[in-house]
Amino acid sequence: MGFRLEYRTSAMEMEQFRRTYQDRERFLACCRECPRYETRWSCPPLSFDVDDFLTTYAWVNLLCARIFLDDETIRAADTAEKMQTTGWEIVSRVKLDLEDRLRALEARVPGSLSLSSGGCHRCGRCAREEGRPCRQPEKMRYSLDAFGFDLTAITQDLFQIEILWCREHLPEYFTLIHGLLAAAPVPEEIWEAAGLGRGGKRGVTDGAFPENKRGGRRLTPA
């Protein structure tokens, strides 16, 4: 099982970002259909005033990670079950890595807070299901989806990437969007220092991947 990563970054003022991409009613209706709804502290319904929370930050910095699967991995996942298992393992691994890197980035950008992609699955069973507080509040980050943002439009408009889905086989790539809420756009050198490369519309980097400078870091399961 192998894949390589490509990072792109972008940023937008919060006010414009919300005006362009937030539709809470529409997207929270989708969240209600999800099994993670009300069962993860990272997911809706959020336990605070979303408007107050978001207006604390003037800018939304975005990180788009594209996970390219190698041919062998796509070929080997030749049943629906294998596709699900392989896709989950790869995406989970990259997602946790991005969460760690973005939490480290928070320390370099005072007053910032990172957002993750999808629901939190750090614990086998989320404490929310038992009516208890989050077990790892220092690590858990809310999902961008939880705020009612249109991730498909964000991915297309800001990164010119089409989201692909599993059909008869695994897709050529998966896409994850994470965020960093902050007072200002994150300078490129800060992204670089976090191992998250440079990009946005300016291009793609492989700077985060010392093992393979041309093709990106190749990850295989431990």
Structure tokens at 182: 């902050």
* Residue from the set 140, 144, 158, 177 that interacts with ligand SF4 by CB under 6 A: 140
* Residue from the set 104, 123, 161, 166 that interacts with ligand SF4 by CB under 6 A: 123
**Residue 95 in contact with ligand SF4, rule: CB under 6 A:** no
**Residue 128 in contact with ligand SF4, rule: CB under 6 A:** yes
Q: Which residue has the tokens 């996942």?
A: 77
Q: What is the DSSP letter of 65?
A: E
- Compare residues 93 and 135 and give the one whose CB is closer to ligand SF4: 135
CB of 83 to ligand SF4, least distance (A): 24
In 3-state terms, what secondary structure has residue 58? coil
CB of 136 to ligand SF4, least distance (A): 4
In 3-state terms, what secondary structure has residue 26? helix
CB burial string 55-94: b at 16+ within 10 A, e below: eebebbbbbbbbbbbeeebbeebeeeeebeebbeebbebb
CB of 35 to ligand SF4, least distance (A): 13
* Residue from the set 122, 198, 217, 218 that interacts with ligand SF4 by CB under 6 A: 122
Measured in whole angstroms, the distance separating CA 189 from the mean position of its chain's CA atoms is 20
* Residue from the set 4, 36, 40, 95 that interacts with ligand SF4 by CB under 6 A: 40
Structure tokens at 172: 């050529």
* Residue from the set 115, 126, 176, 196 that interacts with ligand SF4 by CB under 6 A: 126
**Residue 114 in contact with ligand SF4, rule: CB under 6 A:** no
**Residue 120 in contact with ligand SF4, rule: CB under 6 A:** yes
Beta strands in 22-172 (DSSP E): 59-69, 113-115
**Residue 143 in contact with ligand SF4, rule: CB under 6 A:** no
In 3-state terms, what secondary structure has residue 193? helix
Tell me the one-letter amino acid at 160: Q
